[in-house]
């Protein structure tokens, strides 16, 4: 199956985007609990893993985006520093270090299809996201893993340039939540391979945020965190979605990086 076929199959999976708007009035874990009961009534072990990961996406407390991503990136050396440093220099450093909104074009927003990819599905930014997700899976330290995860949000925003400012305004909160998702998955050897799903989660979260912005809905830290939590629940909790995301990661990494990321 080609990477494009994988992407199309992922897109065909049932989503929450329309349904979870009915739950937005509820706070925090009540919001997640209602989604969980609606879509995972059996409470399988995988569903519980997904719920835990989604709770991490909602939680804060990791400090500022700069200290999380910039500080960790600055401490890396060797291959890890080469990969993350390249992203930091071209995207993350410009976006988080010096004003998130200035990273991407300040163009007038348009409503038709702006959350869709504007380039090829296997664009450079998209492939780099998968490489960083694989690197976060294999990283020896949490600082390294968080640096790789932190670089995903600006890259996801680059895939939707006309609505990227909406995503970048939520970037600090998305970086915090995504780092916590990855940290939780990394703690258990059985769930550590699911860190490879985080690029898919971030990419779909960015598209959800872009869709909300295109519809004239305000994008806040709270709504961004809920979008991230919903996509985490959807991807990690669905065996098919998770398997497709991991296969996609391996396929793109095989074309971009040495064998240790396969």
- Written as one string, the DSSP assignment of the chain is --HHHHHHHHHHS---TTGGGGGTTS-HHHHHHHHHHHH-TT--HHHHHHHHHHHHHH---S--HIIIIIHHHHT--HHHHHHHHHHIIIIIHHHHTT-GGGSS------SSSTTS-SS-TT-HHHHHHHHHHHHHHH-SSHHHHHHHHHTHHHHHHHTSGGGHHHHHHTHHHHHHHHHHHHHHHHHSTTTGGGGGGHHHHHHHHHHHHHHHHHTT----HHHHHHHHHHHHHHHHH-HHHHHHHHHHHHHHHHHHS-GGG-
Q: What is the pLDDT of residue 53?
A: 87
Q: What is the pLDDT of residue 38?
A: 64
Asked whether residue 122 carries a pLDDT value surpassing 90, the answer given is no
Give the tens place of pLDDT for each residue, 32-78. Answer: 666 666 666 566 777 778 888 888 888 754 444 444 444 444 444 44
Look over the chain and give the mean of its residue pLDDT values, rounded to a whole number.
72
Q: What is the pLDDT of residue 97?
A: 39
Residue 14's contacts (CB-CB under 8 Å, 6 or more residues apart) are none
Section 213-229 average pLDDT: 91
Lowest mean pLDDT among 5-19, 114-128, 178-192, 230-244: 5-19
Q: What is the pLDDT of residue 192?
A: 95
- The span from the CA of 83 to the CA of 23, in Å, is 39
pLDDT class of 209 with cuts at 50, 70, 90: very high
Looking up tokens 């500080």 gives 71
pLDDT class of 134 with cuts at 50, 70, 90: very high
Q: What is the pLDDT of residue 37?
A: 65
Lowest mean pLDDT among 3-12, 48-57, 139-148, 200-209: 3-12
Asked whether residue 241 carries a pLDDT value surpassing 80, the answer given is yes
Asked whether residue 6 carries a pLDDT value surpassing 60, the answer given is no
Give the tens place of pLDDT for each residue, 154-191. Answer: 999 999 988 899 999 999 999 999 999 999 999 999 99
Asked whether residue 89 carries a pLDDT value surpassing 90, the answer given is no
Q: What is the pLDDT of residue 42?
A: 62
* C-alpha distance from residue 103 to each of 12, 61, 151 (Å): 31, 25, 13
Residue 204's contacts (CB-CB under 8 Å, 6 or more residues apart) are 231, 234, 235
Asked whether residue 259 carries a pLDDT value surpassing 70, the answer given is no
Asked whether residue 233 carries a pLDDT value surpassing 60, the answer given is yes
CB 156 within 8 A of CB 130: no
- The span from the CA of 125 to the CA of 199, in Å, is 11
Residue 225's contacts (CB-CB under 8 Å, 6 or more residues apart) are 57, 58, 60, 173, 174, 177
Asked whether the CA dihedral 179, 174, 253, 91 is positive or negative, the reply is negative
Long-range contacts of 27-36 (CB under 8 A, 24+ apart): 28/58, 29/55, 29/58, 31/58, 31/226, 31/229, 32/58, 32/229, 32/233, 35/230, 35/233, 36/233
Q: What is the pLDDT of residue 44?
A: 72
CA distance from start to end of the chain: 17
């Amino acid at each position: 199956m080609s990477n494009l076929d994988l992407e199309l199959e992922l897109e065909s999976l049932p989503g929450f985007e329309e349904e979870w708007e009915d739950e937005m009035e509820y706070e925090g874990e009540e919001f997640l609990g209602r989604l969980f009961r609606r879509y995972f009534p059996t409470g399988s072990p995988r569903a519980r893993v997904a719920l835990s990961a989604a709770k991490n996406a909602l939680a804060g407390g990791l400090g500022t985006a700069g200290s999380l991503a910039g500080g960790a990136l600055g401490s890396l050396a060797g291959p890890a520093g080469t990969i993350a440093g390249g992203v930091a220099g071209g995207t993350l450093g410009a976006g988080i270090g010096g004003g998130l909104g200035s990273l991407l074009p300040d163009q007038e927003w348009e409503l038709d299809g702006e959350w869709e990819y504007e380039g090829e599905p296997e664009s450079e930014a998209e492939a780099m996201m998968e490489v960083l997700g694989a690197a976060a899976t294999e990283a020896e330290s949490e600082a390294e893993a968080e640096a790789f995860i932190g670089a995903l949000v600006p890259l996801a925003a680059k895939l939707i340039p006309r609505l990227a400012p909406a995503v970048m305004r939520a970037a600090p909160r998305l970086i915090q939540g995504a780092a916590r998702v990855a940290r939780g998955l990394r703690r258990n050897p059985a769930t550590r391979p699911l860190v490879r799903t985080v690029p898919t989660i971030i990419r779909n979260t960015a598209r959800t945020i872009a869709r909300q912005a295109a519809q004239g809905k305000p994008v806040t830290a709270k709504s961004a965190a809920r979008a991230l939590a919903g996509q985490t629940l959807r991807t990690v909790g669905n065996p098919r979605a998770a398997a497709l995301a991991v296969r996609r990661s391996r396929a793109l990494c095989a074309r971009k990086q040495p064998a240790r990321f396969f």
